[in-house]
């Protein structure tokens, strides 16, 4: 056995990675050795003297490469949550090795011949539904990855895959570097007018850490920039930080514009290799939506009423801004929306932050999960982590049996990209009668504690914690046999259902009374504030929905281009938003140069899936609203038909088993107050 910890069988508690032993210089040799090990497994399948069967080909293939997956998952998590200069230095080579090896496997003619033989003789195999799904996915996956291409096109595909992977990595690295490169330094206390005390304290600590004592530092991380835009009375400074935020990677040292063009060029060429007109046609062929037109149809149904509500809100906000002699611009929206909210509901979200102490919110989350699914979260002490401050829990089922390990990495740092996400270090699956359990890390970027106050979350951050833990439930409750079907290995437009439905519970009055307690006094949130949260729940949905759909439309428009030879991303973005009718006071949630979901992550032609899944989520939650917030029959059905099944069945079939019928957008439109 290798002495490289990345390649060893992890004998740590619950089989989590030995973070205290992993060093950066171990990744490359581990990746190379793991690829050799996987090659040997593939060769054994290809050269088997036995006739191709499900067991000796499809099943053997799915269980192969476990050491490679082990190395790749650690590497991928490190490059998003704990990237260093040393890791960046090897990232290109690591990505290239993974891309080349993936192509070697998916384009292996002897292997595909065996897969095809099993597929064509599947009626002779007595397969259960999960095995049938795995066979179908494996065969179609190999076809979609080029197995039926001729030799010349296979070589072309290899080059395109490597280019796409490397360009995506560069896009993400540029975004992280550009985000870290900017700070707004405030040296006059008068320029802090309007900002809540907690935001000011955090900015002071940021300044002290940067050696700028006596000043205040604001960054482009969301917990810093968004409160500044919402509360700062200094319009010039709002514009200054807004300009920095919205022009990231648009020119300069970390420019992403050429990368966007090169990426789309490669994606289009890849789609055409497979006979598809556009990348979106190729990508959506294996989703619930199936076609770009279906995605556009959904987005347009939501877009029209959302934009109408946003315009109505703008008219009301402008009346307030008129008193300040201001014509509202994009950097003013959050500021005047907050004023309008205060005027309408006598409610400012800063009122509830004292009741959203991170630790209390987390306990409220655990309470909800326990009430729904019977799970408990047992704190784990002494776990080795790759960064300080991570929290670890063993997840136990209602009978006390072990299900999974989960960790929470709460706060921003320079080595972590922005946003929030769930991932895996290990997956759930069953082999030779043994159940392998998952370890799921949740990576977040929440408001940091200060010297005087604990971490007090915004309502949006509370929803994010529930959202990401919903993804985690999809992974930790997985109950399948094969690794490639486990947990969140589902269609992109289905994966957001478990996460988005969980958001519904966090602001229910019954739940708020459990966890929303004042961080100083311990007093439960008063009914008056709960009423304000409920009354204002649909406020601002015009803006929130419009910026979300704008980003989704931009994504789909990019990925339905049939010619990108003369593409100017900035011009294209402007023209796309103008054609859609987006008002200048609102921008796409992500502008092109920092739209990491589609150019650096896995959501190409897939950002619409948040809205698609929200249709499912609103429709699904309506069952709980009808039958009871914690109705056990409904919760059990959701667990058994959605959370446990992973990708082992068609998602629409799974949804219909839970719901009894196909979903429609009406529940979503009503919930958002758009009809």
Q: Catalogue the active-site residues.
A: 468
Phi, psi of 99 (to 5 degrees): -65, -45
CA distance 28 to 631: 50
Question: Among residues 610, 637, 639, which one has the least CA distance to residue 551?
Answer: 610
CA distance 444 to 450: 17
Q: Could you give the C-alpha distances from 182 to 177, 179, 219, 233, 414, in angstroms and in order?
A: 9, 6, 6, 21, 12
Residues linked to residue 402 through DSSP beta bridges, in sequence order: 396
Structure tokens that stand for 86 in this block? 């040393």
CA distance 283 to 605: 7
Half-sphere exposure of residue 465, counting CA atoms within 13 Å on the CB side?
29
Cβ atoms of 569 and 257 closer than 8 Å = yes
Question: Strands 391-396 and 429-431, how do they pair?
Answer: unpaired
DSSP annotation of 391: E
**What is the DSSP annotation of 497-552?**
HHHHHHGGGGG-HHHHHHH-B-TTT-PBPPHHHHHHHHHTTTTTHHHHHHHHHHHH
Structure tokens that stand for 462 in this block? 């509370």
Contacts by 261-267, CB closer than 8 A, 24 or more apart: 261/564, 261/567, 261/569, 262/163, 262/167, 263/164, 263/167, 263/168, 263/171, 263/599, 264/558, 264/559, 264/561, 264/564, 264/567, 265/564, 265/565, 266/160, 266/163, 266/164, 266/167, 267/164, 267/559, 267/604
Can you tell me which residue has the tokens 């990744």? 27
Under 8 Å CB-to-CB from 216, ≥6 apart: which residues? Answer: 185, 186, 187, 192, 200, 203, 204, 206, 207
| Displacement of CA 125 from its chain's centroid (Å) | 38
Phi, psi of 124 (to 5 degrees): -85, -15
Residues linked to residue 379 through DSSP beta bridges, in sequence order: 393
Q: Could you give the C-alpha distances from 498 to 34, 171, 213, 466, 644, in angstroms and in order?
A: 33, 29, 45, 10, 11
CA distance 646 to 234: 49
| Displacement of CA 278 from its chain's centroid (Å) | 24
| Displacement of CA 412 from its chain's centroid (Å) | 16
Question: Among residues 569, 571, 580, which one has the least CA distance to residue 547?
Answer: 580
Phi, psi of 363 (to 5 degrees): -65, -35
Give me the numbers of helices (H) and strands (E) for the chain, helices first please: 26, 9
CA distance 511 to 499: 17
CA distance 556 to 560: 6
């Amino acid at each position: 056995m290798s002495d490289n910890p990345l390649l060893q069988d992890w004998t740590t508690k619950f089989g989590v990675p030995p973070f205290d032993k992993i060093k950066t210089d171990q990744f490359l040799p581990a990746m190379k050795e793991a690829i050799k090990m996987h090659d040997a497994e593939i060769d054994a399948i290809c050269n088997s003297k036995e006739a191709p069967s499900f067991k000796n080909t499809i099943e053997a293939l799915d269980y192969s490469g476990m050491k490679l997956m082990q190395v790749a998952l650690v590497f991928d998590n490190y490059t998003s949550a704990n990237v260093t200069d040393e890791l960046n230095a090897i990232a290109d080579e690591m990505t290239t090795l993974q891309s080349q090896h993936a192509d070697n496997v998916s384009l292996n003619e002897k292997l595909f011949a065996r897969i095809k033989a099993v597929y064509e003789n599947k009626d002779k195999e007595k397969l259960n539904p999960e095995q049938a799904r795995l066979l179908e996915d494996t065969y179609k996956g190999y076809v979609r990855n080029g197995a039926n291409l001729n030799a010349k096109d296979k070589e072309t595909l290899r080059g395109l895959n490597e280019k796409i992977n490397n360009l995506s990595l560069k896009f993400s690295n540029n975004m992280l570097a550009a985000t870290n490169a900017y700070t707004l330094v405030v040296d006059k206390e008068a320029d802090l007018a309007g900002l809540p005390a907690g935001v000011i304290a955090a900015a002071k600590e940021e300044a002290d850490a940067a050696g700028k004592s006596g000043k205040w530092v604001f960054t482009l991380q969301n917990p810093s920039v968004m409160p500044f835009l919402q509360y700062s009375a200094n319009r010039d400074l709002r514009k200054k930080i807004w300009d920095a935020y919205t022009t990231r990677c648009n020119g300069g040292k970390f420019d992403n514009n050429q990368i966007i063009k090169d990426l789309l060029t490669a994606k289009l060429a890849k789609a055409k290799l497979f006979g598809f007109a556009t990348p979106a046609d190729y990508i959506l062929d294996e989703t619930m939506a199936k076609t770009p037109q279906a995605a556009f149809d959904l987005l347009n149904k939501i877009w029209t009423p959302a934009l109408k509500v946003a315009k109505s809100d703008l008219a009301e906000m402008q009346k307030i801004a008129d008193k300040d002699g201001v014509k509202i611009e994009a950097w003013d929206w959050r500021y005047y929306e907050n004023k309008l909210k205060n005027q309408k509901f006598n409610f400012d979200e800063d009122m509830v932050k004292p009741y959203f102490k991170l630790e209390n919110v987390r306990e409220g989350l655990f309470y909800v999960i326990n009430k729904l699914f019977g799970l408990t979260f047992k704190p784990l002490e002494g776990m080795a982590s790759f960064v300080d401050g991570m929290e670890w829990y063993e997840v136990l089922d209602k009978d006390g049996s072990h299900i999974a390990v989960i960790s929470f990495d709460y706060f921003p740092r320079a080595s972590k990209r922005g946003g929030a996400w769930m991932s895996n270090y290990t997956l759930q699956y069953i082999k030779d009668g043994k159940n392998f359990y998952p370890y799921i890390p949740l990576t977040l970027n929440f408001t940091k504690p200060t010297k005087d106050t604990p971490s007090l979350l915004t309502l949006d951050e509370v929803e994010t914690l529930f959202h990401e833990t919903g993804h985690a439930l999809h992974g930790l409750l997985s109950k399948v046999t094969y690794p490639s079907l486990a947990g969140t290995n589902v269609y992109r437009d289905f994966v957001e259902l478990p996460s988005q439905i969980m958001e519904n519970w966090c602001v229910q009055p019954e739940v708020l009374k459990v966890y929303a307690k004042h961080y100083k006094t311990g007093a439960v949130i008063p009914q008056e504030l709960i009423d304000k949260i409920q009354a204002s729940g649909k406020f601002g949905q015009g803006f929130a929905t419009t910026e979300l759909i704008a980003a989704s439309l931009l994504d789909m428009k990019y990925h339905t281009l049939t010619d990108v030879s003369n593409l100017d991303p900035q011009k294209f973005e402007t023209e796309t938003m103008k054609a859609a009718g987006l008002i200048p006071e609102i921008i796409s949630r992500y502008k092109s140069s920092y739209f990491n979901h589609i150019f650096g992550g896995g959501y190409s032609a897939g950002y619409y899936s948040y809205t698609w899944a929200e249709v499912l989520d609103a429709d699904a939650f309506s069952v709980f609203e009808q039958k009871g917030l914690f109705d056990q029959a409904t919760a059990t059905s959701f667990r058994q038909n959605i959370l446990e099944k992973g990708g082992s069945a068609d998602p629409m079939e799974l949804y219909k088993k839970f719901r009894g019928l196909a979903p429609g957008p009406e529940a979503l439109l009503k919930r958002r107050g758009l009809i």
